[in-house]
């Protein structure tokens, strides 16, 4: 059988993969020819904007090495199908070839819609679709100062991120009253707009562009129907898509009134020998513009073509994504279009979070939802809607913030039916995962290989892992949390072995309790445990090779290969002389300086060989390592408290400095951040930290296990009205219990969520000493405090350690690929555009004036 596939995008390639997986030995009778009009094979259009962040076309490729080395699959690049002759069953190609087919699959996708605005074809007007489009945008961006995206939908905001990555002043022009009008409602659109504008993108909604003409100060002037205008150097059209159905029209295949190749449930067109899949296909009057439905069509067509039974019956259009760092999710019917539906709303204007759920008239079932700013509940809500799982009595608590110690009503994996779709990209159900476990699969890697779950976007991996472990327990398998293949122990078990057997080196630990040579997983884990227990210098000969790159050079490596320098400023306090010293160092070595959210000054742009002399000068000025590179205490954020503030009820500044100096040497499973506020006005944001302390009229309130970041979590109240001595002892015990029991790279918030017994158990252990380990925890913390030594002071005073700080192992030459640009009076790394332009002004690298050997 001769098969021709027209189009080799994401959906076209998924068809080829599905065909290969479903053949069951039928490969010799199939001859597959793939016509790809682009100069490269299929690539990931979902993550296209990452091209501007440094990813290459090869990085975005979806084609595994050797895929087209199969004898029965031929890929033709730069080959566009021109004519389909349904009677002769041939396809004429732009290269002049005429190819015969038995079965034809049209996967031509869609094209960007460009509004019929006079001037839309001017120079430096683009669409956002292919890598060639992006390369043209990069060239234009190199000579532009500003850019406009016409279209405020999903793709439009992705495109806006690309323009921001090119350091352009960025605008989004949208005809509708709000951004992402299809996915979010008015409340969600308001919060989304606010967050997008906070990131430096100006949104112009309810704007109808009437023409594009020459600008006075920029290349283009966009005139709007309301009499206003906007000038810019670059315009990108991202105002929606239209199905590419021109081949179908010219060959008299049935198409929809508004476009799209009509297909049935088997993805067959009006010609029984021709299939259509992806964004060019019209099913039941609908075009599906997401990847997952296209993948489902590809699988359906492949199975049907091979004689199997398969049907495409539509797709849920729920989606979760991150736009310019902002979580946005839409589930089911977010607008409440079903008659009688009711909705619950939650808005936090300070944190810019909006959540809404739509429930049925009876109140039992979830119909839809919107989340902007925080989509933590997306997985739970999606499964409730898809599987028609009854809602709790008070469904509003599904989206309300977690109160002290009160967990949200959750959805355990055992409540999901076997038919629940867990991985929509690869159509993997809970039943598929459980069947794989029953067949002997016991690791997430094996499960991915076996079922393909989690191998595309990766958004379902956490849920896949939970299902695997739950089914393993049900089947009687031993569920382990082994660190890696070299140690049959969890991190907690390794900690106890090191602590109680007094093991001081990785080699000793490996010889006694492991096997093999170790790996990039177990070595940093062991390094962290050894540092937590014995507080030895991490760059001692026996420890140095265990560290990751940041700890190995005692600095955070940045995107251009340089390092940051972060001196500790306990509580954010620094003397005028200290500020002057930091400024002098930054000026001498040409470093970028920034005051951080953690109340410190970060210095960026130091080459590796500059780190020792920089730190030597900072140490001479009285500074210590800020541990910004380590899994350890980072900062203790503080307000000025009662010392200066008229609302302060206690000395938050003094306590913050005392706490930071006490815990600054503690190595832990993950980074730790503190906050100390002098009153309940909470200027130090203590309730979003791993450890938060708030002054009251009666003493100190202690909050634990909060964090900001990708998945913010409110800290929980552990104890109230503590005097300072009791407060410090409680923090000591909390931190050491966390260090003892947390998993590898587990934040306190995640550790708390996985702690059996929750907050009540934590209170029993820490406050009531249920396990009778309080004295041990006190002693272990005091050992850390007593043995503290500044790592950078140790490093610069040891000649052997200093030798490691050079870029090349066999020469003292510096890295000539480090290129800086000047911006706002300081340096920054050159962007991809600036590097590729070749003609750039390179900021001279300031030489080190003195270096102690």
Question: Which residue ranges are tagged as binding site?
Answer: 639, 645, 679, 683
The pair of three-digit structure tokens given for residue 417, joined into one six-digit string = 């039916």
Taking the C-alpha atoms of residue 528 and residue 499, their distance in angstroms, rounded to an integer, is 12
Q: Residue 286: beta bridge partners?
A: 283
DSSP string, 32-52: EEEE--SSS--B-STTGGGGG
Strand-by-strand arrangement of the 633-638 sheet: 633-638, 672-677, 691-696, 699-704, 716-722
Which are the contacts of 824, defined by CB distance < 8 A and separation ≥ 6?
Answer: none
The helix (run of H) or strand (run of E) holding residue 655 is helix 652-663
Neighbours of 361 (CB within 10 A): 12
Taking the C-alpha atoms of residue 599 and residue 339, their distance in angstroms, rounded to an integer, is 52
Neighbours of 418 (CB within 10 A): 11
Q: How many degrees, rounded to 5, is the angle at CA 773 between CA 768 and CA 774?
A: 55
Length of the chain: 853
First vs last Cα of the chain: how many Å apart?
74
853: helix, strand or coil: coil
Chain position carrying tokens 């003195």 = 850
Taking the C-alpha atoms of residue 498 and residue 503, their distance in angstroms, rounded to an integer, is 5
Neighbours of 804 (CB within 10 A): 14
Q: How many degrees, rounded to 5, is the angle at CA 144 between CA 139 and CA 148?
A: 100
**What number of H helices and E strands is found in the chain?**
27, 37
Feature table: binding site for siroheme: 683
Q: How many degrees, rounded to 5, is the angle at CA 89 between CA 88 and CA 93?
A: 100
Nearest CA to 419 among 456, 390, 389?
389
Which are the contacts of 347, defined by CB distance < 8 A and separation ≥ 6?
Answer: 187, 191, 353, 354, 355
The pair of three-digit structure tokens given for residue 241, joined into one six-digit string = 């898509």
Burial class (CB in 10 A: 0-12, 13-18, 19+), 123: exposed
CB 715 within 8 A of CB 687: yes
The helix (run of H) or strand (run of E) holding residue 829 is strand 826-829
Axis-axis angle for helices 724-741, 758-766 (nearest 10): 120
Feature table: binding site for [4Fe-4S] cluster: 639, 645, 679, 683
CB 536 within 8 A of CB 530: yes
DSSP state for residue 557 in the 8-state scheme: B
Chain position carrying tokens 């130090």 = 684
CB 98 within 8 A of CB 91: yes
Nearest CA to 462 among 349, 383, 370, 351?
383
Chain position carrying tokens 């306090």 = 573
Neighbours of 675 (CB within 10 A): 29
DSSP string, 327-381: EEEEEE-TT--STT-EEEEEEETTTTEEEEEEE-TTSSSEEEEEEES--TTHHHH
Q: Residue 12: beta bridge partners?
A: none
CB 663 within 8 A of CB 735: yes
Taking the C-alpha atoms of residue 77 and residue 60, their distance in angstroms, rounded to an integer, is 17
């Amino acid at each position: 059988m001769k098969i021709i596939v027209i189009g080799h995008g994401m959906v076209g390639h998924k068809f080829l993969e599905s065909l290969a997986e479903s053949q069951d030995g039928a490969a010799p009778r199939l001859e597959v020819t793939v016509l790809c009009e682009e100069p490269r094979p299929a690539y990931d259009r979902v993550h296209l904007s990452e091209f501007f962040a440094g990813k290459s076309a090869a990085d975005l490729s979806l084609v595994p090495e050797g895929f087209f080395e199969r004898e029965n699959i031929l890929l033709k690049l730069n080959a566009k199908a021109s004519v389909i002759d349904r009677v002769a069953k041939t396809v004429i190609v732009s290269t002049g070839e005429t190819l015969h087919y038995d079965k034809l699959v049209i996967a031509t996708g869609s094209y960007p819609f460009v509004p019929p605005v006079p001037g839309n074809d001017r120079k430096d007007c683009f669409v956002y679709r292919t890598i060639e489009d992006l390369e043209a945008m990069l060239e234009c961006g190199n000579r532009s100062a500003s850019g406009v995206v016409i279209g405020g939908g999903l793709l439009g905001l992705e495109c806006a991120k690309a323009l921001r990555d090119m350091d352009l002043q960025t605008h989004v022009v949208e005809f509708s009253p709000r951004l992402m009008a299809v996915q979010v409602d008015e409340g969600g659109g308001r919060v989304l707009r606010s967050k997008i504008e906070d990131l430096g993108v100006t949104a112009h909604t309810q704007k109808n562009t009437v023409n594009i003409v020459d600008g006075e100060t920029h290349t283009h002037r966009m005139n709007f129907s309301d009499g206003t205008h906007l000038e810019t150097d670059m315009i990108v059209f991202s105002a929606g898509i239209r199905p590419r159905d021109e081949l179908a029209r010219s060959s008299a295949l049935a198409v929809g009134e508004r476009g799209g190749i009509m297909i049935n449930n088997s993805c067959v067109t009006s010609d029984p020998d021709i299939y259509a899949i992806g964004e060019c296909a019209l099913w039941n009057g609908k075009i599906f513009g997401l990847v997952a439905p296209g993948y489902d069509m590809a699988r359906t067509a492949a199975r049907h073509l091979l004689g199997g039974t398969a049907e495409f019956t539509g797709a849920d259009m729920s989606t979760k994504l991150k736009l310019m760092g902002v979580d946005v999710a839409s589930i089911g019917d977010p607008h409440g279009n079903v008659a009688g539906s009711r909705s619950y709303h939650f808005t936090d204007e300070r944190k810019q979070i909006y959540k809404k759920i739509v429930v049925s008239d009876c109140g039992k079932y979830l119909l839809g939802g919107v989340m902007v700013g925080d989509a933590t509940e997306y997985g739970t809500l999606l499964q409730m809607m898809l599987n028609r799982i009854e809602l709790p009595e008070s469904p509003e608590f599904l989206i309300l913030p977690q109160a002290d110690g009160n967990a949200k009503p959750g959805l355990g994996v055992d409540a999901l039916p076997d038919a629940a779709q867990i991985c929509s990209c690869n159509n993997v159900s809970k039943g598929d995962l459980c069947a794989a476990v029953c067949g002997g699969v016991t690791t997430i890697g094996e499960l991915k290989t076996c079922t393909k779950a989690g191998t595309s976007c990766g958004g379902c991996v956490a849920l896949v892992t939970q299902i695997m472990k739950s089914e393993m327990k049900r089947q009687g398998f031993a569920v382990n949390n082994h660190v890696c293949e070299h140690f049959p122990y969890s991190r907690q078990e390794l900690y106890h072995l090191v602590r109680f057997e007094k093991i001081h080196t990785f080699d000793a630990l490996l010889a006694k309790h492991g096997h093999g040579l170790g790996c990039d997983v177990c070595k940093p884990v062991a390094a962290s445990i050894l540092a937590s227990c014995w507080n030895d210098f991490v760059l001692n000969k026996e420890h140095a090779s265990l560290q990751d790159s940041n700890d190995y050079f005692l600095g955070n490596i940045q995107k251009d290969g340089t390092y940051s320098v972060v001196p500790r400023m306990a509580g954010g306090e620094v003397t005028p002389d200290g500020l002057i010293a930091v400024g002098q160092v930054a000026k001498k070595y040409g470093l970028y300086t920034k005051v951080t959210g953690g109340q410190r000054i970060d210095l960026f742009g130091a080459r590796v060989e500059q780190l020792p002399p920089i730190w030597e000068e900072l140490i001479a000025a009285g500074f210590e390592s800020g541990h910004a590179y380590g899994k350890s205490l980072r900062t203790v954020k503080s307000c000025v408290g009662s010392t200066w503030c008229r609302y302060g009820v206690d000395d938050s500044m003094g306590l913050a400095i005392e706490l930071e100096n006490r815990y600054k040497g503690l190595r832990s499973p993950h980074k730790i951040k503190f906050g100390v506020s002098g009153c309940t006005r909470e200027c130090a944001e203590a309730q979003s930290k791993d450890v938060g302390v708030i002054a009251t009229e009666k003493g100190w309130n202690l909050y634990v296990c909060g964090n900001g970041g990708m998945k913010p979590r409110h800290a929980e109240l552990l104890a109230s009205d503590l005097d300072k001595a009791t407060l410090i002892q409680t923090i000591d015990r909390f931190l050491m219990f966390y260090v003892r029991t947390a998993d590898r790279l587990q934040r306190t918030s995640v550790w708390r969520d996985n702690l059996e017994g929750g907050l009540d158990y934590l209170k029993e252990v820490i406050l009531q000493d249920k396990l009778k380990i309080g004295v041990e925890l006190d002693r272990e913390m005091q050992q850390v405090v007593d043995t503290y030594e500044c790592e950078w002071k140790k490093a610069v005073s040891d000649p052997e350690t200093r030798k490691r700080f050079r870029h090349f192992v066999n020469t003292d030459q510096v890295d000539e690929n480090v290129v800086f640009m000047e911006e706002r009076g300081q340096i920054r790394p050159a962007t991809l555009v600036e590097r590729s332009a070749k003609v750039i002004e390179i900021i001279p690298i300031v030489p080190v004036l003195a270096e102690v050997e």
